[in-house]
Amino acid sequence: MENSKVPLHLCHVHKLSNFINRTHILVHSIALVFLISYRASFFFQHPKTKATTLPWLLVFASEVLLAFEWLLSQSFRWRTVSRTVFPERLPEDDKLPPIDVFICTADPEKEPTVGVMNTVLSAMAMDYPPEKLHVYLSDDAGAAVTLNGMREAWRYGIKCTAPEAYFSAGEDDGDENGGFGGSEFVQEKEHIKEKYEAFKKSVTENARIGDTRCNSRRDHSAVIEVIQETSSDNADAIQANEAKNKPLLIYVSREKRPSQPHHFKAGALNVLLRESAVISNSPYILGLDCDMHCHDASSARQAMCFHLDPKISHSLAFVQFPQNFCNISNNDIYDSQLRSAFKVLWKGYDGLGGPCVCGTGYYIKRVSLCESSISEAGDAMKLRQCFGPSNEFIKSLRQINKPDRMFVQRNNAQPNETQLLASCAYEDGTKWGKEVGFLYGSVVEDYFTGFHLHCKGWISVYCDPKRPQFLGSGTTNLDDFLVQGTRWSSGLVDVAISKFNPLIYGPFKMPTFLHSMCYAELALFPIFYFLSLWGFATIPQLCLLNGIPLYPQVSNTYFIVFSFIFLSSHSKHLYEVLATGSTFRHWVNEQRIWMMKSVTSHLYGSVDAFMKKLGMREASFFPTNKVDDVEQLKRYNMGVFDFQTSRLFLVPMVALVILNMASFVVGIARGIFVGELDKMKDKGSIPLSVTLVSALVSLIFYFFGSIIFM
């Protein structure tokens, strides 16, 4: 930097909203203390019948759990910040560090090759010196169609960020020329479009010819290919590419064998970490999912505003951009955009030490993933125990200790070395996945890896510029949405019930307790939500049916406490929704989907995590479907709920709706016909304990029934 006094980025603390948040925390907490004291006092009061103690206990437990969850989530509201970057102040191109881009794909059927190639092309078209970009695609399916797609992508050399999104009708992001400059470039645009159509055709044809190796997805040897015009060996390809001044493009399909665990995406990323180390070994890595393309070409430069800031770069592990989606409808009935996470929570996370890794759209420093106390000592024996047997890889470690290395070094890695590094037995007995690379402890490898980085003292930064840097495809039907939610819940709860529970492990490792609270909230919310919402969805209703009072009468002063808590939490949520530019209707959508997810995804995810812990189930990662069903998409865009999902998800929701409607009707009828509610428990009614037990039995019945019949 010429003038180190001019900052590359600025951090703004949101003083007003922090003030509002903190005041709300204070007032709401006081109300919760009153609520808890009201409930607690019940147990010391007048003679109670056994029948009423149980529902009181259950509803009290739900309230305490939800209150605790609320308290944890306030850590995200304590100190919210946002950032501005000044990429124009970056040093000259020749002083920028090289970047390796990692893209993962796992299933050519669920993740159509054209979509994956759009991501690849968008990464190659980034506004960054091309000789400093190296794009790696990990193909977990080892599919010929993907490898061919890469070759075609290279051959057509379409330089356009995300052609599909760009050429498809209805492009609406305000930049009419999609980065091509003025209207005089219309011709150029037509030319590129033609090229793109030809490219698409050849990829689709390849897919049609068929990938017969479907059953070999879990059983195939490694293929590593540096893409170039005529296929010969990799060393030639690297030299040929250098001459062309194009980003390097590398296809990696790691070896997979049924007998060896492959650790899903984290396993794939670790193979990329090793392969890239012996090929380009760039100090920075951009991680992308195959369904998330670079929408704005400047993200790399924006990220470098943080990485190249001498004040923070020594401790900065990664810069995280939000996930934005290009297929969100106006109504967004399922909250597919994950508004709360990326518009509210992450800004507060950032104010406390940084967000976790979000799996895609992050620029991470290679050293932060491959650091080890022994790598400095240089004891070859120990290094091998930690990083595995490849000498080439260990040699690469010495270079990354100088993270701001600007020169590009493309090595002619030997085929036997690259094969070794992608072999499925490579990690046996090493620290890969445990201390080195992306960690295997959870299927939400991103969250878990981020947590460990923060525990080791690294910080991260959240950068959410106006123009979305990355655009992906979100889940737009209920089934995909709930399946994805179940996977996330399961992975998060894995961490909550391990020795890495952020509330226990975090405080000793992280600089602030509030930051551990953020991590703890994410790990624990599925458990808290499913337990408390099941409580709230059944206990008061059963009590109403049986005429058991659970809440204070209107004349009681505690009635104000309950009403206040209800209003306070709902209005705070509404305020956040409106303040982040969403609508009242979106607030309704979020409330609704929160309840639906809590009684299904969060429940099943938590149960799945406990079963894995007990050894009753194996970990799994079913990639989200990225092929749009035309009918379902239509319904989503019209804002119509699509209940085409499995019985596992439907049964609890339907059962609860029936219970709630029945108790509502009975409650109203009683209010009208019998008058005072609390006087009406007659001797002839079914005892509450019986109702409770039968409700429980029928739920268990439903639950196992739907597992068995699925």
Size of the site for ligand UPG (CB under 6 A): 24
Q: What is the closest distance, in whole angstroms, from the C-beta atom of residue 621 to ligand UPG in the complex? A: 5
Distance between CA atoms of residues 286 and 264, nearest Å:
19
443 lies in the binding site for ligand UPG (CB under 6 A): yes
- Among 291, 371, 427, 576, the residue binding Mn ion under the rule CB under 5 A is 291
Q: What is the closest distance, in whole angstroms, from the C-beta atom of residue 382 to Mn ion in the complex? A: 38
Taking residues 110 to 149 in sequence order and writing x for each that binds ligand UPG by CB under 6 A, - otherwise, the string is -x--------------------------x-x---------
Q: Say whether 233 counts as a known binding-site residue.
A: no
Distance between CA atoms of residues 105 and 621, nearest Å:
13
What is the DSSP code string of 431-493? -BTTTBSS--SSS-HHHHHHHHHHHTT-EEEE---SS-SEEE----SHHHHHHHHHHHHHHHH
Name residues contacting Mn ion, limited to 224-263 (CB under 5 A).
Answer: none
- The shares of helix, strand and coil residues in the chain, as percent rounded to the nearest 5, are 55, 10, 35
Residue nearest to ligand UPG (CB): 359
Q: What is the closest distance, in whole angstroms, from the C-beta atom of residue 131 to ligand UPG in the complex? A: 26
Q: Which is nearer to Mn ion, 255 or 446 (CB)?
A: 446
Whose structure tokens read 């001797």?
683
- Among 69, 255, 289, 296, the residue binding ligand UPG under the rule CB under 6 A is 289
Q: Say whether 309 counts as a known binding-site residue.
A: no
> Which among 121-129, 394-402, 607-615, 619-627 is the span making contact with Mn ion, rule CB under 5 A?
619-627
What is the CB neighbour count within 10 angstroms for residue 394?
A: 18
- Among 148, 299, 396, 484, the residue binding ligand UPG under the rule CB under 6 A is 484
- Among 164, 296, 446, 479, the residue binding ligand UPG under the rule CB under 6 A is 446
User: Could you confirm whether 678 is annotated as catalytic?
Assistant: no
> Which among 423-431, 486-494, 498-506, 558-566 is the span making contact with ligand UPG, rule CB under 6 A?
486-494
| DSSP assigned state of 341 | I
Q: Say whether 521 counts as a known binding-site residue.
A: no
Q: Say whether 289 counts as a known binding-site residue.
A: yes
User: Could you confirm whether 140 is annotated as catalytic?
Assistant: yes
Whose structure tokens read 């790691």?
254
Length of the chain as a residue count: 710
Task: At 606, list the tokens.
Answer: 């938590």
268 lies in the binding site for ligand UPG (CB under 6 A): yes
Q: Which residues of 360-376 are buried (b: 16+ CB within 10 A; e: fewer)?
A: bbbbbbbbbbbbbebbe
> Any alpha helices (H) in 280-372, and if so which ranges?
299-307, 339, 346-352, 366-370
Q: Say whether 159 counts as a known binding-site residue.
A: no
Taking residues 611 to 650 in sequence order and writing x for each that binds ligand UPG by CB under 6 A, - otherwise, the string is ----------x-xx--------------------------
Q: What is the closest distance, in whole angstroms, from the C-beta atom of residue 274 to ligand UPG in the complex? A: 15
444 lies in the binding site for ligand UPG (CB under 6 A): yes
71 CB contacts (<8 Å, ≥6 apart)? 29
623 binds, options Mn ion, ligand UPG, none, Cβ within 5 to 8 A by partner type = ligand UPG
Distance between CA atoms of residues 247 and 134, nearest Å:
5
The end-to-end CA distance of the chain, in Å, is 61
Catalytic residue among 139, 291, 332, 446: 446
Q: Which is nearer to ligand UPG, 51 or 619 (CB)?
A: 619
Starting at the edge strand found earlier in the chain, the sheet holding 324-325 runs 292-294, 470-472, 324-325
Using only the alpha carbons of the chain, give its radius of gyration.
28
Count Cα neighbours of 225 within 13 Å in the Cβ-side half-sphere: 19
Indicate which residues carry an active-site annotation.
140, 446
Q: Which residues bind ligand UPG (CB under 6 A)?
A: 104-106, 111, 138, 140, 264-265, 268, 289-291, 359-360, 443-444, 446, 484, 487-488, 491, 621, 623-624
Q: Which residues bind Mn ion (CB under 5 A)?
A: 289, 291, 624
Binding-site positions for Mn(2+): 265, 289
List residues forming the annotated binding site.
110-111, 140, 265, 289
